[in-house]
Structure 1
Amino acid sequence: VREVTIVGHPNLVLKIYPASARCPAGTKTFTYRYRKKSGIRRVAIGVYPAMSLQEVRERYLEHNRALARGDDPQQEIKRQEEGSGNVTCQAFAETYMARWAIPRKRTHAEDRRMLDKDVIPCIGSMRMVDVTRADIVAVIDRISKRGAPISANRTLALLKRFFGFAIERGVLEHSPCAHARAPAKENQRDRVLSPEEISAFVSALNQSNLSLAVNAALRFLLVSGQRLGEVASMEWEDIDLANRVWSLPAERSKNGRGHRIPLSARAVLILRELQASGNSGGWVFANTKGHHVRADSITQALSRLTKQFDLDHFTPHDLRRTAATQISGMGVDRATLVRILNHTDHSTTAIYDRYSYEPEVRQALEKWSTKLDQILAAPTIFHCF
């Protein structure tokens, strides 16, 4: 999607979307963008050529006048349209983002991306009340046809939330997503590396030409059992090597909860190796550009490694699952395993159980480290151990 600011109209933005099966000539939408104390806000104006340039200019001037009076154009539009189904999908998308996605979802940027890429170009100019199940199916089919069935599933889930929120707001009585089915079946992965595969994986790492940061990140994933994105973005300021603990801030945690991860002796040695290489500030797993290695870069590197050394395919998340399975198999109780993985436990017992389990977590991770030694036959197979 390309954004163009119109000369002489500083608050007017033209978005140009790539051509698609549903929109063969591409789509051009106009948005009024302005700044308030709370940040940048947007008001959808319309889709060209369904709305003429003269109409766009008139709407633009209306918003300018509202802003000059001290009014908020976004709030004025909501007062005028939100009580009825006359609001367009593009206009309601701004309400959805501001009132539902941003306050409730850490991944709200992904909702914005899906709306901009696949939803607004196709149904953005339609009134909410005019959208039918056939329109929803057409949006989803277009995504599936480009070879992205899982993205189609995610977009359908977004649309169900989107139109469900419209019902809550009184914009609609019924959702056009009712009875719409996800196009792709998603199977829960159950890939767990065997002891022999773990040994082969570590041997491949020791022989590979992967960068030190990526190599160390993959080893740390196996040793710690933590999430890929959280490991990739680790910062030295969150590491206390003296007390052997990693304090993950809530804002960088997937579930929005802070997490203290005791570091086993093996995990500490990986971090010490990185420090010895000259990396002792900023990102723990830093790339050559001074930023942290990206999660997808680690995934791609692992994919290349498995092909190069003829290993059965597995992903970074499978390393986390392998660690969890091995730890559970050593007799570690579920409550401790939940703390290791930083999963959200919604059970009634968990509501009352506020014990940190940190000593038990530390003991479990050390047991897993010892088990790795046994699997690898000698601790030196990990070259940094």
Structure 2
Amino acid sequence: MPTIELTDRFCQTAKPAEGKQTDFFDTVVKGLCLRVSPAGTRAWNLVYTKPADGKRARMKLGRYPEIKLVKAREKARDARAGIGEGADPIAEKRAHAASQTVSDLVDNYIARHASTKRSGDEIARRLRKNISDVIGTIKLADLHRRDLTRCIDAVKDRGAPVEANRLFEDMRAMVRWAKGRGDLDDNLVDGMRRPTETKERDRFLTADEIKTLWLALPDADMRESTRRILRLCLVTGQRVGEIAGMTRDEIDLDAATWTIPADRAKNGREHVVPLAPVAVKIIRDQSEAVDALAERKDLAVPAWVFPAPGFRAAVTAASVPKAVKRLEVEGTIFGMAPWTPHDLRRTAATHMEEIGISPFIVGHVLNHVSVTKASITSRVYARYTYDREKREALELWADRLAGIIDGRGEIVPMRRGAA
């Protein structure tokens, strides 16, 4: 049992002695140790003497690097303070776990972690509907992997394989978070497989299908704001969630730009979307409609371009594909193979390449992480934003889209490498 003043550097590189599980005890906080396994797992433990019977005990504090050295010392000091007053932290932890239910865990996870994420509302909806409503009354101390499997199976059985996969990812993140905090002793999802294998979609709309869609949208059974979101998916090539959550302060109609902030962009980088005239018109029409509605109902103008009813939040990203799904009749939408809002993004990208726009520029238009953060050079040193090239690409695509809708002419590809 080596004893050393632990440092972050040591914790990062520590290896087990002679290939066996090794405890490295800290000289700063008595009893705190970093347990390193041959497989490379690093876990914090506090070894102490139980006040009741004088026996040695070991309490898990979480894994490194999820819990950093400074936090591990803080947790160990707090526990030792209680031990000095006659408390037994393991017994207290078990009592706390025995009192907590799965619903308590879900609510705690949402409030302390999931709510900080861009998709927090969707995560909360999935966990409450599929976990809390199914096994919410089970005590954490009694929670078993079969209970989690039951939740996943219920989603699969109702014919929602994609939802089942998303729930599995949410559940796995929640369980890992709970284990890191000490709410759960074991990672109950360790070794579990994704419930379904999903194929990457390759659906995109042909020119004829684009024309059919565009001309059919005005009569589609959905809100006008949803129609505008779908049009923007096709015109801009951006993600439906980013469009649905668009705020007024992100838009500069005079400059014809939409700046998606880093905290709303999927790849975590601010993304400037040049707006072609058709996109500017869609956004202006939507803003004017919201202004008029706010005046009629004597409400404050909301911050969102696409507010939900009541103006208390933006429309959710999930509401748009649901609206599209409701249009499906006998396996078709507008008489063609079913499509999703994300397929419109793929459609824009495909047709931009078809008219000769470089895949590299298309990647920047889409804000794909493989292009914008592919290397240390692009992440740190190369700061050029390709705004001019993105504007040229999107205006060329808007021109081509107008031609498709009006039935004008054939595709005339640009010289490869242009834009």
TM-score band (shorter)?
Answer: 0.5 to 0.7
Distance of 2:306 and 2:359 partners within structure 1: 30
Q: Which amino acid aligns with 1:299?
A: P
Tell me which residue corresponds to 2:63. none
Tell me which residue corresponds to 2:378. 350
Q: Which amino acid aligns with 1:344?
A: V
Tell me which residue corresponds to 1:141. 153
Displacement of 1:335: 4.0
Which of these residues, 376, 389, 396, is aligned with residue 367 of structure 1?
Answer: 396
Which of these residues, 353, 356, 366, is aligned with residue 341 of structure 1?
Answer: 366
Aligned to 1:193, the other structure's residue is in SS state coil
Contact 1:167 1:175 in 2 (8 A): yes
- Once the two structures are superposed, what CA deviation does each residue of 1:221-250 show, in whole Å capped at 9, x if it has no partner? 211111222223334443222211112334
Tell me which residue corresponds to 2:357. 332
Which of these residues, 260, 264, 278, is aligned with residue 272 of structure 2?
Answer: 260
Within a 5 Å distance, the mapping from 1:138-287 to structure 2 comes to 138-169=150-181, 174-206=186-218, 211-274=223-286, 279=291, 282=302, 283-285=304-306
Tell me which residue corresponds to 2:321. 299
Distance of 1:94 and 1:208 partners within structure 2: 38
Contact 2:240 2:317 in 1 (8 A): yes
Aligned to 1:155, the other structure's residue is in SS state helix
Q: Describe the shift of the 1:85–1:146 C-alpha distance in structure 2 as closer, same or farther (beyond 3 A).
A: farther
TM-score, normalised via structure 1 length:
0.64
Q: Which amino acid aligns with 2:213?
A: F
Q: Which amino acid aligns with 1:141?
A: D
Which of these residues, 345, 361, 370, is aligned with residue 320 of structure 1?
Answer: 345
Residues 282-291 or 147-156, more deviating: 282-291
Q: Which amino acid aligns with 1:368?
A: W
Within a 5 Å distance, the mapping from 1:16-55 to structure 2 comes to none
Over the matched positions of the two proteins, sequence identity in percent amounts to 34
Aligned to 1:222, the other structure's residue is in SS state helix
- Once the two structures are superposed, what CA deviation does each residue of 1:156-176 show, in whole Å capped at 9, x if it has no partner? 323322333344446666533
Contact 1:83 1:170 in 2 (8 A): no
Q: Describe the shift of the 1:354–1:335 C-alpha distance in structure 2 as closer, same or farther (beyond 3 A).
A: farther
Distance of 1:113 and 1:135 partners within structure 2: 19
How many residues were matched structurally? 302
Q: Which amino acid aligns with 1:365?
A: L
Aligned to 1:260, the other structure's residue is in SS state strand
Q: Which amino acid aligns with 1:142?
A: A
Contact 1:246 1:261 in 2 (8 A): yes
Contact 1:306 1:312 in 2 (8 A): no
Distance of 2:284 and 2:123 partners within structure 1: 39
Distance of 1:82 and 1:338 partners within structure 2: 55
Contact 1:213 1:285 in 2 (8 A): yes
Contact 1:222 1:323 in 2 (8 A): yes
TM-score, normalised via structure 2 length:
0.59
Tell me which residue corresponds to 1:44. none
Which of these residues, 131, 135, 157, is aligned with residue 122 of structure 1?
Answer: 135
Tell me which residue corresponds to 2:42. none
Residues 341-350 or 163-172, more deviating: 163-172
Displacement of 1:275: 6.2
Q: Which amino acid aligns with 2:147?
A: D
CA RMSD of aligned residues (A): 3.9
Q: Which amino acid aligns with 2:374?
A: S
Aligned to 1:373, the other structure's residue is in SS state helix
Distance of 2:323 and 2:144 partners within structure 1: 43
Say whether 1:311 aligns with 2:336: yes
Distance of 1:151 and 1:81 partners within structure 2: 37
Structure 1 unaligned blocks of 5 or more: 1-75, 380-385
Distance of 2:285 and 2:171 partners within structure 1: 47
Q: Which amino acid aligns with 2:321?
A: T
Q: Describe the shift of the 1:211–1:152 C-alpha distance in structure 2 as closer, same or farther (beyond 3 A).
A: closer
Q: Which amino acid aligns with 1:313?
A: P
Q: Describe the shift of the 1:127–1:191 C-alpha distance in structure 2 as closer, same or farther (beyond 3 A).
A: same
Aligned to 1:151, the other structure's residue is in SS state helix
Contact 2:239 2:342 in 1 (8 A): yes
Distance of 2:186 and 2:123 partners within structure 1: 22
Contact 1:246 1:262 in 2 (8 A): yes
Q: Describe the shift of the 1:138–1:166 C-alpha distance in structure 2 as closer, same or farther (beyond 3 A).
A: same
Contact 2:114 2:123 in 1 (8 A): yes
Aligned to 2:273, the other structure's residue is in SS state strand
Contact 1:216 1:270 in 2 (8 A): yes
